[in-house]
């Protein structure tokens, strides 16, 4: 583990704004973690045109693989006379318009998944087909297919199936030097939803998601994100933090946030892998307030050499009270550091 990390005395609880809501103790979580499950299993696709992908393939298959292999995408294209193979296990999508040489770009789609057979059988020449899937070996391995979708997506927009798409805004001031960025669902930028975390020079944001339609005045659904700088908040900042160092620090951060609660808490840090291969450190626990409701806390951490991006998703596990998991997952997956 190396040096035992200690928070500087000047550090205070970051999330005092949520602590006063409850008079609680802390307990172990029993229910499946909603955000963790979404991150691990619910694919987020980036929208591209056939023209863009076909142009990449035509220019350099090596460059295409380097930039797109393993990427989850959604693509809409035109169906030609011979687009559907005789065994219906492959279709070819064409661009709507030709390039300057009069050539229509195309990309092949693997439709061999048996769950797609009925939909593929319904495809006709002249249809527009939207495919959701993973790029593998110069083609798209289809997971979902929509024939003649009602609307288009913007290029590079992020989408969940079926057709949950976000208007996006980029945030770049989480870390003081600007090296951290993430994309924010536009609905989160409302003055009623978004606030700053500013105590002790913390760079962060709070989001009161239950203020977004459908509004829920009974139960909170909150998301918090801030950047923990090693130099600012540790007595002995690690120069090359190990995994053990990192999880030790993350445990201290969690305890610092929860230190005014009754009961004891020993964070059990684990590592989770998002469906696209991104690794995050993770911890889950439960608020047990006197009102009899158990509120879930999911902590997520994305480290770099200079610090850690820290996130907390707080919610009451009731289907009517949890309405913005995909939006939170979208933010997490668009973080760059």
- State the pLDDT at residue 291: 62
Tokens, residue 96: 């709507």
The answer on 251 and 172 residing in a single domain is yes
Which helix (H) or strand (E) segment is 166 a member of? none
110, 130, 160: which is the final residue of a domain? 160
Q: Are 74 and 211 contained in the same domain?
A: no
Q: What is the CATH number of the domain that holds 267?
A: 2.60.120.1690
Same domain, 251 and 275: yes
Contacts of 232 (CB under 8 A, 6+ apart): 8, 201
CATH code at position 96: 2.40.50.140
pLDDT in the model for residue 236: 83
> Residue 164 in 3-state DSSP?
strand
Q: Where are the alpha helices (DSSP H) in 100-158?
A: 117-121
For tokens 């930028």, name the residue.
189
Within-domain flag for 8: no
| Pairing label, strands 139-147, 106-110 | parallel
Determine the 3-state secondary structure of 245 from DSSP: helix
Whether residue 9 is contained in a domain is answered as: no
Q: What is the pLDDT of residue 290?
A: 62
The predicted structure's pLDDT at residue 18: 46
Q: How many domains does the chain have?
A: 2
Residues of the chain with pLDDT under 70: 1-32, 199-201, 259-266, 288-293
Residues 148 and 277 in one domain: no
User: Same structural domain for residues 172 and 286?
Assistant: yes
- Report the pLDDT value the prediction gives residue 7, as an integer from 0 to 100: 60
Domain holding 140, by residue range, is 44-160
For residues 109 and 177, state if they share a domain: no
Boundary-marking domain end, from 142, 160, 178: 160
Domain end, chosen from 160, 186, 215, is at: 160
């Amino acid at each position: 583990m190396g040096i035992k990390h200690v928070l500087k005395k000047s550090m205070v609880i970051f999330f005092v704004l949520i602590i006063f809501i409850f008079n609680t103790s802390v307990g172990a979580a029993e229910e499946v973690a909603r955000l963790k499950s979404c991150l691990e299993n619910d694919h987020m696709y980036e929208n591209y045109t056939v023209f863009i992908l076909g142009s990449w393939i035509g220019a350099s298959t090596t460059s295409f693989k380097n930039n797109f292999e393993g990427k989850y995408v959604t693509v809409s294209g035109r169906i030609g006379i011979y687009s559907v193979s005789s065994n219906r296990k492959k279709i070819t999508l064409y661009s709507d318009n030709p390039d300057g040489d009069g050539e229509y770009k195309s990309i092949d789609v693997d439709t061999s998944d048996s769950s797609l057979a009925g939909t593929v059988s319904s495809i006709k020449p002249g249809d527009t087909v939207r495919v959701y899937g993973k790029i593998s070996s110069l083609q798209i391995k289809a997971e979902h297919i929509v024939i003649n979708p009602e609307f288009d997506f913007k290029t590079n927009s992020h989408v969940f199936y079926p057709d949950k798409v976000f208007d996006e805004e980029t945030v770049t001031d989480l870390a003081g030097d600007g090296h951290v960025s993430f994309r924010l669902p536009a609905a989160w930028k409302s003055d009623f939803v978004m606030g700053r975390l500013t105590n002790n020079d913390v760079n962060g944001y709070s989001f009161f998601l239950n203020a977004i339609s459908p509004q829920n005045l009974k139960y909170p659904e909150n998301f918090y994100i801030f950047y923990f700088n090693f130099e600012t908040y540790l007595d002995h900042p690690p120069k090359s933090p190990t995994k053990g160092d990192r999880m030790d620090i993350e445990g201290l951060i969690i305890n610092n946030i929860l230190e005014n609660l009754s009961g004891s808490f020993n964070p059990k840090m684990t590592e989770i892998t998002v469906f696209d291969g991104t690794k995050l450190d993770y911890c889950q626990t439960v608020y047990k307030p006197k009102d009899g409701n158990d509120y879930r806390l999911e902590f997520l951490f994305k480290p770099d050499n200079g610090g850690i991006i820290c996130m907390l998703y707080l919610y009451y596990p009731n289907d009517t009270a949890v309405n913005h998991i995909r939006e939170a997952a979208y933010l997490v997956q668009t973080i760059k550091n």
